[in-house]
Amino acid sequence: MSIQLGKLCARIVEQHFGEVVRTVVEDLFASIAKPLSQIIRSTGLTKSEVCKSLAILIKFNMVGFELNKSRTQYEYRLHYDRVVMVLRYPRYVHLIQTKFGHESAVLMEELLRSGTQTASYIIVKSMSIVDIKDHNTLALLRDKFADLANEHYIIRAPEPNPGDGSAELMELCHDIPNPFFMPELDLRILKDMHEGKAVKAPDENVHWLVNVEQFHIDFRNTIMVTAIERLIDSNAGECMKFLLQLMRERTNPWEAVSNPIALVDLRQRCERKSQNVEMLRYLDQYINVMESNDYLSKFDTKGGGQFTVNVKKIFEQLTWACIENVIVEKYGSKAARIFRVIRMKKYVEQEDIQKEAMVPAKEAKQLTYKLLEENFLQIQTFRKPGGGNAGAPKSFFLFYVNQSQIVSMLLELSYKALYNSITRLTHDKTVNKRLIEKSQRLESIVETMKERGESDSYISEILETLTPPEQEILTKVKLRVKSLYSAEIGIDETIFMLKLYQQYQK
């Protein structure tokens, strides 16, 4: 945990839930776990405010609770990673939209907005949002919800059970036999609920939440496939996609190295599911190229060869590429060349750097010490003991690279950049709130007028109520907001990859 991460979590929570909840989050972030009484004392809020804030955070799985060692009261713990994942919600919805269609995306968006909720509530709520409403829509939404559960994109929430036979203190049971089992939902009851009739939901005790792990597996696989496509070509990317499918069937999804995959099995899978003749023809060559880049390792020679997918090495390479890109953007290509030389040589003296990197001595020294100052490089001192009256002992200074330390530093910078981006976005929207609202009202009026068939000249008169200076300011604000949103997505992708690197190094 870090100061920048704490500020980012507080900003995200304030943006979505308000200042009171933010105060509770800041207090929980500063400690590992706290009971309710200590949170009330340290925040200065009332018991009601703290309880409501904790209820909201627990509902959105941002806070967990468990009994203390004496099993007399609860201790609350902040899941700060889940707070940052709020910025990833649009990507989750987009993935579902791409794979399952509009109705599934509406269900997913509603579940993300609700945090933890029953299937019947989400389906009925989504019924009022979908574009096409007919007598089959409820059945379609129910089937789509079941598809999301079957594909593991949603999961049943932990169920509360009495702790040690006490009815007052409950414990969450995470060991649900089948966490993706969808209970039977009667369409007639769903229809009555949609019409506002007072009926009992058949699944009122079965709550669902988004299974972020499945989304992250998909994002991770997309990163690897895209990396292969850029390194080799699209055929190799398709080959990697089938390899990852086989890996999922045989290996724990978060293993650093997959179980062996036979080339025969890969060829059969490609022949069954792909029409790409060129990929099938050169499959052996694509495998060899991926092996030469350490993306795959040969495990055995039987059955045409068996290979393992080196997920850990892949993300090590991608992280090196990310670090080098940051250095190129901040300090130029010569600094990146120096960094690459030190990384390849492991330990290098100053005099050798300028020779290997082919950079003038003065410039090489400046760039090396700049990278050292910014913590991209580390220095190790060795002393050669002097004998007798030979004078002071000679010291050797060797430069080296610590990848884990650089990744931690880049994560700090990413959290700071995200915080700054969200703060600037909020400031721009607040300062220009009146102008943005006026523009939105005008757009709504113009849409209504077009539907009524009003003349173009009358519509133009309405649009002219927004003066040229206002239009200019609005254009600049929209452009800046769009740039900041794009920056947030890019930074979040970087954070995701760096966190994966850290996960595979454990």
Place of tokens 């690897």: 224
Q: Which CATH class is domain 215-309?
A: mainly alpha
**Rounded Cα distance, 38 and 30, in Å:** 12
Provide the 3-class DSSP secondary structure of residue 367.
Answer: helix
The per-residue pLDDT for 458 is 76
Contact 244, 225 (CB under 8 A): yes
Question: What's at 230, amino acid-wise?
Answer: R
> In what side-by-side order are the strands of the sheet with 306-309?
261-262, 306-309, 296-300
Q: Model confidence over 373-429: pLDDT tens digits?
A: 999 999 888 776 655 555 556 777 889 999 999 999 999 999 999 999 999 988 888
> Is the CB of residue 433 less than 8 Å from the CB of residue 477?
no
Determine the pLDDT at residue 468.
83
The percent of residues in the chain predicted with pLDDT above 70, rounded, is 96
**Where in the chain are all domains bearing CATH 1.10.10.10?**
3-82, 87-163+173-210, 215-309, 318-385+392-401
DSSP state letter for 281:
H
411 Cα distance to chain centroid: 13
The whole-angstrom distance between residue 410's C-alpha and the CA centroid of its chain comes to 16
What is the mean predicted confidence (pLDDT) over 442-467?
A: 78
Q: Return d(Cα 457, Cα 451) in angstroms, integer.
A: 15
**CATH code assigned to 87-163+173-210:** 1.10.10.10
pLDDT for 326: 93
pLDDT in tens, 235-268: 999 999 999 999 998 889 899 999 998 888 888 8
Topology, domain 318-385+392-401: Arc Repressor Mutant, subunit A (1.10.10)
64, 79 Cβ separation under 8 angstroms = yes
Neighbour-count burial for 410-420, b at 16+ CB within 10 Å, e otherwise: bbeebbbbbbb
Through-space distance between the first and last CA atoms of the chain, rounded to whole angstroms: 16
What is the average per-residue pLDDT within 80-97?
A: 93
Q: Is the pLDDT of residue 363 over 70?
A: yes
CATH code of the region 3-82: 1.10.10.10
**Between vectors from CA 110 to CA 56 and to CA 414, what angle results, nearest 5°?**
65
CA pair distance 267, 259, nearest whole angstrom: 17
